[in-house]
Structure 1
Amino acid sequence: MNTAPGYPPRVALARKPLGILGSAMTARRNVLELIPELALKQPMVSGRLGIRWHMVMDPGALRRVLKDAVEDYPKSTVTRLILEPAIGDSLFVAEGAHWRWQRLAAAPAFAARHVEALGPVMTAAARASADRVGGAAQPFDAFAEMVAATFEVISDVTFSGDAGFDRDAVHTAIEGYIARTARVSLLDILGAPPWVPRPGRMVAGGALRRTKALADRAIADRAGRGPRLPPDLLDLLRSGVDPETGRSMNPAELRDNLLTFIVAGHETTALTLAWALYLCAFDPAVQDRAAAEARAVGPVITAADLPRLPYVAQVVQETLRLYPPAAFLSRTAQKPDTLGGREVKPGDTVMLPIYALHRHRMLWTDPDRFDPDRFAPGVDRDRFAYLPFGAGPRICIGANFALQEAAIILATLLARFRFDTVPGRAPYPRMILTLRPEGGVWLRATPR
């Protein structure tokens, strides 16, 4: 683990070339350890293994990849190979016209008024989480608790707690899939075509099929019974249409997109909250300031209270800078291009190491330090220097949902408890599909 006094845990980046086999082994252990330390100081780093690759940290080049020439840089083959078995050709994976119509159809479901209307579900989950923390043996694993809290939210807002939707079965299947199959293989590093089987991904199929069958039954049942009042995410997606064509999602498309939102909607927010609680315990002064703000709001924190919680929001934003859940993205160039003055050829892999971008020495002052005041009102930064949710037309559709949920749960917990770290049990940032705290986030919670 790479640590220094006064700094939270950080990844030990590569200090020498890894080679093909070393890269494959490193990627299976921790994708972020592929990033060369040089990437913290340079706008772009390029190389070749089985394929040509470029790591891009320059905000101008990132703007081109994510916004100005987004259709020339679709999701990489590796990303599709990992995710398609679980979520099909849904919004997260789809490209071109198929992505566009799904995005237009789904967008109303994530409008501000609908996200705010889901606030009571988040408040209820936050209070239930606080009750569990108060009754738990100490120390407790904050990551496991945040997974439970956010999965409660996403399953309620997706299926309104339908009895036919087996939360535990879906959660177990998702966790199993990530653990067994969401790893980079040697064949990926070598640039093997997608039709070459990756043995490590030919497992967990039974659990995925059962999960899809559960979602299919819930969708069919809702179609027979009609929408709920107020509508949940399933109802909103069922009623969504592409305004340009009038097309709506068929049952298979509904299922794949709902599973996408279930996976992304709880995993990423749970990670953010777990890391945020750890950082607050790591820095008592930050924790005291955020807790005082939350306690001034009152014992029950709702979506309407968020304007009164600006420092809590800053803590969430700084957590997303240091430990972005989607910490490493990749694209495949489709056309000849120039990025940062460097030639890019069709077929090149263009990597977006968000973890390195957020800690880049040319973009941030003392970037490894935890400092929520980086996000205080009036502080300016390049839009493409901070990308926890991506940017451009494919920015995460659920970003506002995640930020609202994280602020409500974090403020609720800080208002009720003081959190302290456990000596010798600092989490290590390890990325397979998302940036997880290896070993859990073990904290002590003391009632205030």
Structure 2
Amino acid sequence: MSETIPTVGRLPVVGSALEVGSDPFDFLEGAAAEYGPVFRVSIPGLSFVCYADAKLVERALVTERDRYRKDDRERDLLGGFLGEGALTARGERWERGRRQVQPAFTPGRIAAYAEEMVGQTERVVGEWADCEVIDVHEEATRLTLSIVASTMFGLDSLEEAGTIAERVDAITDRFAPSRLPVEIPLWAPTPANRRYRRAAGDLEEIVDRLIDRREPGDEDLCATLLSAMEAGEITESEVRDQLLTVLLAGHETTAVALTYTLASLATHPAEYDRVAREVRSAGELSARTDLPRTDAAIREALRLYPPSYLLFRQTERSDTVAGYRIPPDTRVVCPQWAIHRDPRYYDAPTAFRPGRWSKDRERPDFAYFPFGGGKRACIGRRFALLELRLAVASILRSVDLEATPDTEPSPTPALTCRPDGPVPLRVRR
């Protein structure tokens, strides 16, 4: 057993900062190819070990999960905002919160959301004019916010959608790397930190207003949590924390995934035509509608552009992986981005090829994990996948979307793998 984990870039003081700052995504792919499945990355203020291998990710998330916990850094960065929500809570509070949120995400409840998902999509698409060039990321954000508001909060309209999107931009941009990435604590009075704190406060106030506006008697997540609060099972602050988490994570990651799916299809006309033909011959859209080509396109977009591109853990106890001893309290990163593009698991790994999912090829389970995995896998996974397939189907059966010379999205590694600017598509009716 070796004690020395290979370290990427050993420059004095700055470590790997220059390489990470130049192109974080390229850095992850290159480091995995050069250093193997386990390597260390250091930048000023932060050091972690990367598990760039599907079997090692499975070990950290499933088979040896008792040796690992959620990374303390995640709670330090987001806990002040999301409190005891599903993303940041620990231990018994997480278990209790999960039990309270679960009823909103059962298969039966998710199927019941289908009509609302289709209706909200048709409303947004109905506002697009023939020959108009839309920013598909902006429109996807508006749509997913509307769907969260209607299904989780029981609201028919969301006049705060623009404000929420702006505040979420400030939250996510706080985590975008600089050219010389240095881990800056949240208490430091930087412009990004000030914007983050203002945005977090504004979103808390918006959630309070959404709670006040909801109609009594609705069977949505908000109603479920308020009933649990009235029964003394959870506190008022826990209700707000869960709803904040759903509002942020429930729309942002899905908007990003929808953006990349539509942009990838528009820039690959043959794939676009296959999906368009399928959805236009599918009949009424529901949770049961069979859309295999659509599902494959979404799956492929999530492979190439996973909204959550890094998953963080921390060792509770020591572990031995790939011949290296990983001491307790070591930060561990499981990189969806690098593993999803690893040639060991995928032919032509950087190509958009939805057809790869219809072929019989054995891959390790965690060669693909856009929603995480194990005990703390994303509780909204089925909701998000249904929302994506119904949104894509509703859009492409109503309009054609054409790529422009500027359509190719350029991902940026902020809190999510969101585009670094507008993603234009031309609407044809």
TM-score range (shorter-chain normalised) is: 0.7 to 0.9
Structure 2: runs of 5 or more not aligned: 1-7
* Contact 1:77/1:332 (8 A) holds in 2: yes
Q: Distance in 1 between matches of 2:135 and 2:159?
A: 26
Residue 348 of structure 1 aligns with which residue?
330
Q: Distance in 2 between matches of 1:407 and 1:371?
A: 17
Structure 1: runs of 5 or more not aligned: 1-14
Letter of the 1:173 partner, please give it. R
Distance verdict in 2 for CA 1:435–1:297, change over 3 Å: same
TM-score under structure 2 normalisation? 0.87
| Identity value in percent | 28
TM-score under structure 1 normalisation? 0.84
Q: Given the alignment of the two structures, is residue 95 of structure 1 paired with residue 90 of structure 2, yes or no?
A: yes
Q: Give secondary structure in 1 for the equivalent of 2:164.
A: helix
Letter of the 1:278 partner, please give it. A
Residue 206 of structure 1 aligns with which residue?
198
Shift of 1:174: 2.3
When structure 1 is superposed on structure 2, of 146-155 and 82-91 the one drifting more is 82-91
Residue 238 of structure 1 aligns with which residue?
226
Residue 157 of structure 1 aligns with which residue?
151
Aligned partner (choices 139, 164, 170) of residue 145 of structure 1: 139
* Contact 1:40/1:359 (8 A) holds in 2: no
Residue 127 of structure 2 aligns with which residue?
132
Letter of the 2:220 partner, please give it. D
When structure 1 is superposed on structure 2, of 412-421 and 346-355 the one drifting more is 412-421
Shift of 1:112: 0.6
Letter of the 2:51 partner, please give it. V
Letter of the 2:281 partner, please give it. A
Shift of 1:168: 3.7
Residue 269 of structure 1 aligns with which residue?
254
When structure 1 is superposed on structure 2, of 327-336 and 115-124 the one drifting more is 327-336
Residue 389 of structure 1 aligns with which residue?
371
Letter of the 2:107 partner, please give it. A
* Contact 2:222/2:243 (8 A) holds in 1: yes
Letter of the 1:178 partner, please give it. T
Residue 250 of structure 1 aligns with which residue?
235
Q: Given the alignment of the two structures, is residue 118 of structure 1 paired with residue 113 of structure 2, yes or no?
A: yes
Q: Distance in 1 between matches of 2:59 and 2:405?
A: 44
Q: Give secondary structure in 1 for the equivalent of 2:379.
A: coil
Shift of 1:387: 0.4
1:26-66 deviation line (CA, Å, top 9, x unaligned): 76786435425031463222344555522112222111211
Shift of 1:304: 3.3
Residue 302 of structure 1 aligns with which residue?
286
Q: Distance in 2 between matches of 1:424 and 1:146?
A: 18
Q: Give secondary structure in 1 for the equivalent of 2:92.
A: helix
Distance verdict in 2 for CA 1:402–1:296, change over 3 Å: same
Distance verdict in 2 for CA 1:164–1:412, change over 3 Å: closer
Q: Distance in 2 between matches of 1:401 and 1:88?
A: 23
Distance verdict in 2 for CA 1:148–1:316, change over 3 Å: same
* Contact 1:78/1:184 (8 A) holds in 2: no
Number of residue pairs aligned between Structure 1 and Structure 2: 418
Aligned partner (choices 51, 54, 61) of residue 56 of structure 2: 61
Q: Distance in 2 between matches of 1:338 and 1:82?
A: 28
Q: Distance in 2 between matches of 1:433 and 1:254?
A: 23
1:320-339 deviation line (CA, Å, top 9, x unaligned): 00000001122222321112
Shift of 1:140: 2.0
Distance verdict in 2 for CA 1:152–1:109, change over 3 Å: same
Q: Distance in 2 between matches of 1:286 and 1:58?
A: 30
Aligned partner (choices 22, 38, 47) of residue 44 of structure 1: 38
Q: Give secondary structure in 1 for the equivalent of 2:70.
A: coil
Q: Distance in 2 between matches of 1:202 and 1:70?
A: 36
Aligned partner (choices 192, 208, 217) of residue 227 of structure 1: 217
